[in-house]
Structure 1
Amino acid sequence: MEAVLAQTTGFFQERPADKRLGTAFASVWVHRMRDQDAPPVVITPDATIDLQWIDGRFRVAGPDREPQIEVLPPGATIVGLRFRPGAAAGWLGVPANRIVGERLDLSELWGAEARHLAGRIKATPDLAKLMEQLEAAIGAYAQDHRAPDAVMGFAFDVIDRGLPADKPLVPFLLRSLHMTERTLRRRFEESFGYGPKTLDRILRFHRFRRLRQASSDTSTAVLAIEAGYADQAHLIRESRRLSGITPAALAATGV
């Protein structure tokens, strides 16, 4: 069975995180697979890290560099709590570059503490009640964890917005953050899993996707330039690298 982009199959919904989750989490999402013939799904790199509830356990979905294909059973429901930029490393107690491309049971990082946390969640077919339990349990737990790295959060936002073509990324960050290049790379790898240039490449692709959704009538060539690509050919190469398909095929999926 051919793999499809994750958000194009089954039921997917995302909303802002409840205030109980404090400053660590940005949003909560749920993805319920089709009851029959659930296809493999392609996870496109988006520079995020998620704490997920699946099959009665917590797992950590690390930041991806390239598309991941995941096979989930028909009818499976995954609830994800998405960390704010720069928050995951402090909350999980592990640098992001140690979990790049990984899907790890939380117990691999926390041992019995993870099992204790999972034990607070009672099985229920009611999705609203399940999400209420998850937010309450994680919210209570989040109070004991370190606050997000505000400097790295700022750096993420700068890159996500995009810099003018006449402002090279790394020199701009070095001046803005008052760091040496070695410190900058180390802080980025600890917070996001990779260096500034890789983060920029991933966020630029998602900036293009946002622009396309907001201006569907605008030509791909124009949107490519607005997003920060050298030209449309550059965009096509990056789209294939990060999603496995061209921008035209991506637009046809509706996500």
Structure 2
Amino acid sequence: MPDLDAHFQCVWTNAIPDDHVGPVAVVPDGCVDLLWKDGRLMVVGPDIVAASPELHGGTTVLGIRFRPGAALRWLRTPLSAMVGQSVDLADIWDPATVDELCQRIAETPSVELRATVLQQQLLRRLPALERPAPDAGAIFAAMASGSDEIGSRVASLVDRLEISERTLRRRSHDYFGYGPKTLDRILRFQNFLSLVRSQGKQRMAGLAYEAGYADQAHLGREIQALCGMTAGSFVRQITG
């Protein structure tokens, strides 16, 4: 819905196979989502390491993803307070309002219509909200670019936004849950993940260089730190 475009990146769904048992690995991506699952609306905060939520076989998850900095406006909570957490929306908004919204969604027969109902209800809250702060998008884009060393990008942001480095770190914690350096690590990892998905199994050294890592060993350490597995195991899992 166009009126929501300034606040949300996309609406998505994920159907869990009927025969699935156990947790689902969700790697950090620097984003915050509002999810409909198991009859409730949940806010999934930013992660620093891979999460392993338990999802029942046959579950269909409906999600809507906040744009950089938008979650702070909607949740009225610094994202640093939600790192690695999944929080019931009723703990943040008025419980009666959330219960009514959950009931409306539950009564809708298809996931497509549920997405429409969710967006329509979010539109009702829109007039009371400011747009995401412009510097949030600037910080996210600078860290996602990976064009220069992290120190150069931070220095450039400080000059362009006319703020101190300390203020930049504080705003980054408010918008994303962590500082620019951690955000840079996570977005570089997401760049690597996109390359694996688009190019398949290639030489790890080449993928590491293209994604912005110093070398293959650097990539391996980051995958182990963020996902708890070796680079080879991770790539095999992604490419199936």
- Asked if 1:241 corresponds to 2:225, the answer is yes
- Which residue of the other structure, out of 99, 106, 112, is the alignment partner of 2:82? 99
1:59-208 correspondence runs (5 A) = 59-112=42-95, 113-165=97-149, 168-208=152-192
Deviation at 1:248, TM superposition (A): 2.6
State the one-letter code of the partner of 1:46.
D
Deviation at 1:96, TM superposition (A): 0.7
Distance 1:146 1:118, change over 3 A: farther
The structure with the greater share of residues assigned to strand is 1
State the one-letter code of the partner of 1:157.
A
The structure with the greater share of residues assigned to helix is 2
Deviation at 1:122, TM superposition (A): 4.0
**Matches of 2:221 and 2:28, distance apart in 1:** 15
Deviation at 1:140, TM superposition (A): 3.0
Distance 1:206 1:127, change over 3 A: same
Question: Which residue is 1:42 aligned to?
Answer: 25
Distance 1:124 1:161, change over 3 A: same
Deviation at 1:92, TM superposition (A): 1.3
**Matches of 2:137 and 2:160, distance apart in 1:** 13
Residues 150 and 184 in structure 2, CA contact (< 8 A), matched pair in contact too: no
State the one-letter code of the partner of 1:141.
R
Residues 30 and 78 in structure 1, CA contact (< 8 A), matched pair in contact too: yes
**Matches of 2:150 and 2:40, distance apart in 1:** 47
**Matches of 1:22 and 1:143, distance apart in 2:** 14
**Matches of 1:106 and 1:98, distance apart in 2:** 14
| Residue-pair matches, total | 238
Per-residue deviation, residues 135-183 of structure 1 (Å, max 9, x unmatched): 2222333343221111111110111111224963432322232211221
Distance 1:66 1:60, change over 3 A: same
| Runs of 4+ that moved beyond 6 A | none
Distance 1:132 1:52, change over 3 A: same
Per-residue deviation, residues 35-80 of structure 1 (Å, max 9, x unmatched): 2343311111111100111122211000001111111222222111
- Asked if 1:56 corresponds to 2:42, the answer is no
**Matches of 2:39 and 2:61, distance apart in 1:** 10
Deviation at 1:129, TM superposition (A): 1.9
Residue 254 of structure 1 aligns to a residue in which SS?
helix
**Matches of 1:226 and 1:192, distance apart in 2:** 25
- TM-score normalised by the chain length of structure 2: 0.90
CA RMSD of superposed structures (Å): 2.0
**Matches of 1:91 and 1:227, distance apart in 2:** 32
Deviation at 1:114, TM superposition (A): 2.6
**Matches of 1:166 and 1:253, distance apart in 2:** 29
**Matches of 2:160 and 2:207, distance apart in 1:** 28
Residues 48 and 85 in structure 1, CA contact (< 8 A), matched pair in contact too: yes
